Structure 1
Amino acid sequence: MITGLVLAAGNSVRFGGGLAKQLLPYGGRTLLEASLTVALSAGFDELIVTIRPELAERVDLGGAKAVPTMGTGCGSSVSAGVSAVSPRSDGIVLLLGDQPGVGLEAIHAVRSTGAPGAVCRYDDGLGHPFWFGRPLFGGLRALHGDKAVWKLLHSGPFTEVPVAGPVPIDVDTPADYERLLRVR
């Protein structure tokens, strides 16, 4: 059993705060809905979205399980999401709710490695999605703060999976959003 975990509970601090970037328009829907489209088509046995409670009713999650969370940094979102994963799940594919350019090929590449942990190696660097097998769940539950997942990735052996093309744009700032709209 494989679980998809989409992080969408951020407070958009780097975007300027106050504005929920998950709700930004993108391709006739919200940025989060566009990001969920690929996750919904990936064939996960379970799909979980960590999301701020006030946003859960404003976005079509397509049947994904909402895990309301209001922590600080992505570490708290990862911890909340991992705690909601079925005990039967062998691992999670970690995706971002503000990164609609991740393709199915990247998801399938990391989830089929058989490694305890895997990260995509794009032409210009490392990026999402990530694979974490069940033995790594304890470390994921202990995460706190921003960039916590990256710290975990750099602390242990992870298999780098080659994926053609550039790292998909992660919308953290208004400039990122403008670049995403231009690339689209």
Structure 2
Amino acid sequence: MFPETIETDRLRLEPRRPENVDLDACYRICSSDPAIDEVTEHVTWDPHETKKETREFLERGRERWEDHEAASYVIRPREGEEGAGDIAGFGGFSVDWERRTAELGTWLRKRFWGRGYSGERAAALVEVAFDDLDLEVVAVSHHPDNDNSRRAIEKYIERLGGRREGRLRNTLTFLDGSVHDEVRYTISQAEWREATS
């Protein structure tokens, strides 16, 4: 149902499964990569404390894929890019089939910030959501204080024909139990087709 591999000009996305991601490397990145606290500051997960946590993260990717709930990918720069083949981060989308909506999500290691990878990945996943899965809406959100995500999302949302819907109150729950607002954006299939035709 979901594409096994997605290649863009600069990125290669493969399913987030234990067989596609080295557990030790993933654990090092998710637990103690330089700036991991900055990466996780505005997301709903904390740096991993054990390798078991990382293994469960990879297994959840496989389970949700097999249950057709989500397409989660490991993101790697392609040959010719700095850090080619390294894990740049993870991203994908969850699907609400009844509402015919995909919800994008991603995180990148700090050394890969500022390269436009978020927008490139988003454009490829939006195409999958609309062309392959015939969904009606793609949504994405960020924590109100996450300026890096806001800037990245605003760039690709505008380019892909979408819009900012607004600030939703108390919709994000972090692992520590704290509840936060989120800023939500959407793109309809019709808007995307008009913007990319």
* TM-score band, normalised by shorter chain: 0.3 to 0.5
> Highest CA radius of gyration, 1 or 2?
2
Report the TM-score when normalising by structure 2. 0.31
The structure, 1 or 2, with the larger RCO (C-alpha pairs under 8 Å, 6+ apart) is 1
Q: Give the structure with the higher percent strand.
A: 2
